[in-house]
Structure 1
Amino acid sequence: MRYITGAVALGAALVLGTLATTAQAAAPAQPTRTGGLYAPTELVLTVGQGESRATATVQRAVTLSCMPGARGSHPYAKAACAQLRAVAGDFNAITGATSDRLCTKEWNPHVVTADGVWQGKRVSYSYTFANPCAMNIDSDTVFNF
């Protein structure tokens, strides 16, 4: 009788061990430390009026996610993600692009910001344009909302 009880206990332990291993394998993957709670590419973009990020009044804000597909509240999410991918997430390449468009030289500063994660790397970017005309250059889709 002792042998039967021992065999039953051993069999139960093996079954429970197998179930526990299967449950762990089926559990959803936990976020990694590099991604945190964010997806690999999740951004909040803002446009504000003022001379710096600290003093600007935010006029508009949108979300942009480029992984696995383009989505968010950005009206041109697909084009904005394509533009960011083309410059490998370098916001300076976007805001510093030249245009044939002529603008007045008035000082009416507007600030654009990007905060979040781009392909797993933390992003905190801001750039001040002299006026709305300079901000709305034809080549910029990312901050066109």
Structure 2
Amino acid sequence: MALIPFAACLLSLGCLAPAQPPASTLQLTTHDTAGRTGSVVLTCDPVGGTHPQRDKACAVLSAAGGDFSRINARHQACTLIYAPVEATAIGTWRGKPVSFKTTYANRCEADRDSDEVFAF
């Protein structure tokens, strides 16, 4: 009779391990007024992709709950030279759609204000 509880467990799916959160995959792009464009893929949960600092970028986004507007800027002085950098992020964060777009005053501010998520 020991097999009946096991069979019941399998039939109800109640004995399976909890589902892992969906992976987070983002296409990050920057474009500046000099015509330079950068684009990387960032994957978190598990960490991967082509971002040069993917471990840190995933940690920053995890701390912000995947919300780019909640990223804490790091302490760094930047020049006041206006050379706009447009930054976008498209994809999913733990199963939820992400569509983020902003313009930073210059590359230094883009790196600082995104805590290096857009540093590529």
Q: Is the shorter-chain TM-score for this pair beyond 0.5, marking a shared fold?
A: yes
Q: CA deviation at 1:77?
A: 1.1
Residue 59 (structure 1) aligned with residue 37 (structure 2): yes
Count of residues in correspondence between the two structures: 99
Cα deviation, residue 128, structure 1: 0.6
Cα root mean square deviation, aligned: 2.2
> Which amino acid letter does the alignment assign opposite residue 46 of structure 1?
T
- What residue is the counterpart of 1:90 in the other structure? 67
Question: Following TM superposition, by how much is the alpha carbon of 1:127 offset from its aligned partner in structure 2, in angstroms?
Answer: 1.2
Contact 1:46 / 1:58 at 8 angstroms: preserved in 2? no
User: Deviation of residue 136 (structure 1)?
Assistant: 2.2
Distance 1:110 1:57 in 2: 10
Contiguous gaps of at least 5 residues in structure 2: 1-21
1:21-51 deviation per Cα after TM superposition (whole angstroms, max 9, x unaligned): xxxxxxxxxxxxxxxxxx631110011114x
Q: Give TM-score, length-normalised by structure 1.
A: 0.60
More strand by share: 2
Q: Secondary structure at the match of 2:97?
A: strand
Aligned-partner SS, 2:48: coil
Does residue 143 of the first structure (1) align with residue 91 of the second (2)? no
Q: Per-residue CA shift, 1:57-87, capped at 9, x if unaligned?
A: 56110001112x1000111111111111111
**CA gap 1:57/1:92 in 2 versus in 1, 3 angstroms:** farther
* Cα offset, 1:141, TM superposition: 2.8
Q: Answer with 1 or 2: which has the greater Rg.
A: 1
Percent identity between the two aligned chains: 40
Indicate if the aligned counterparts of 2:73 and 2:113 stay in contact, CA closer than 8 A: no
Partner of 2:83: 108
2:26 aligned partner, one-letter code: L
Counterpart CA distance in 1 for 2:101 and 2:79 is 22
**Residue in 2 aligned with 1:133?**
108
Q: Structure 1: 5+ residue runs without aligned partners?
A: 1-38, 51-55
Q: What residue is the counterpart of 1:117 in the other structure?
A: 92
Equivalent residue in structure 2 for 1:40, among 1, 23, 29 = 23
**1:114 counterpart letter in structure 2:** A
The equivalent of 1:70 in structure 2 is 47
